Amino acid sequence: HKVTIIPRGMSLGHTMQLPTEDRYLMIKAEIIDRIMVMLGARAAEELIFHECTTGAYDDLQRATSLARKMVMEWGMSSKLGPIALGKKHEQVFLGRDIMEERNYSEEVASQIDAEVRGIIDSCYAASYGLLENNIDKLHRLAEALLEHETVEGEDVDRLLSDVPQTSPVRKPEPVVPEQAAAAAAQPKEEKPRAAGGPLPFPPPEPA
């Protein structure tokens, strides 16, 4: 939907993705793609600066959580197979904290960790390679963000395409509530009617 580097709260920027339609299910390939996107910021840091920061903290948390759900809840591990591992219970009187009851052995726990690690490592390598092979587009988008701070989805697609750039990035105009309210309250001017022209409505009948 859009990409912005305007800080909001504890975030220094974010990428907003809106679904094109209502979705109730996801296939494995789509989840892998999401994890790759979440790891993109860390991969870009390593690629450009050869260093990492704490900025990707939330992305790493969400990527790891998604990979663990693939293995433990959705049965998407090729090694462990279609099996759900761990029972979750909600402690209502403890702020609805969700606690997990382990119903598997230490050996299986090690296999879970290995599978999660494998998913994260493969997604990170794929994300890094994708950025490395398209580093010119990465710089193009970064320059647009430095200039405009926010880039809409259509402009992102255009910047990342191989089509020559012919039009500038559209800069979103902020809407000031006071100005919008004043414009709405201002009476509209009626255009003068030409002499001899028809009336917009029939004249009222005399009482």
SS3 81: strand
pLDDT at 166 over 70: no
Give the pLDDT of residue 200. Answer: 46
Q: Where are the domains of the chain?
A: 2-165
Assess whether pLDDT exceeds 90 at residue 10: no
Residues 6+ apart with CB under 8 A from 63: 35, 38, 39, 120, 123
Model pLDDT, residue 18: 62
Residue 165 has pLDDT above 90, yes or no: no
- Between residues 71 and 192, which one has the greater pLDDT? 71
Per-residue pLDDT at 113 = 97
Pairwise pLDDT comparison (100 vs 161), residue with the higher score: 161
What average pLDDT is seen over the chain?
79
Q: Using one digit for the tens of pLDDT, what is the confidence trace for 33-59?
A: 999 999 999 999 999 999 999 888 999
Query: Which tokens in the block code for residue 29?
Result: 């390939």
Computed on alpha carbons and rounded to an integer, the radius of gyration of the chain in Å comes to: 27
Using pLDDT thresholds of 50, 70 and 90, give the confidence band for residue 198.
very low
**Residue ranges with strand state E in 76-192:** 87-91, 97-101, 150-152
Global pTM?
A: 0.70
Q: Please, what CATH class does the domain formed by 2-165 belong to?
A: mainly alpha
Q: How many percent of the chain have pLDDT more than 70? A: 66
Sign of CA dihedral 121, 122, 125, 131: negative
Dist. CA 117–CA 63, nearest whole Å: 11
Inform me whether the pLDDT recorded for 154 exceeds 90: no
Report how far residue 163's alpha carbon sits from residue 169's, in angstroms, rounded to the nearest whole number.
14
How would you label 105-127 residue by residue, b for 16+ Cβ within 10 Å and e otherwise? eeeeeebbeebbeebbeebbebb
What are the CA-CA distances from residue 86 to residues 20, 78, 99, 154, 160 (Å)?
33, 18, 10, 42, 42
Mean pLDDT of the 124-153 span = 92
pLDDT tens by residue, 73-112: 999 999 999 999 987 655 555 554 556 678 889 999 999 9
pLDDT score of 29: 96
Q: What is the mean pLDDT of residues 164-183?
A: 54
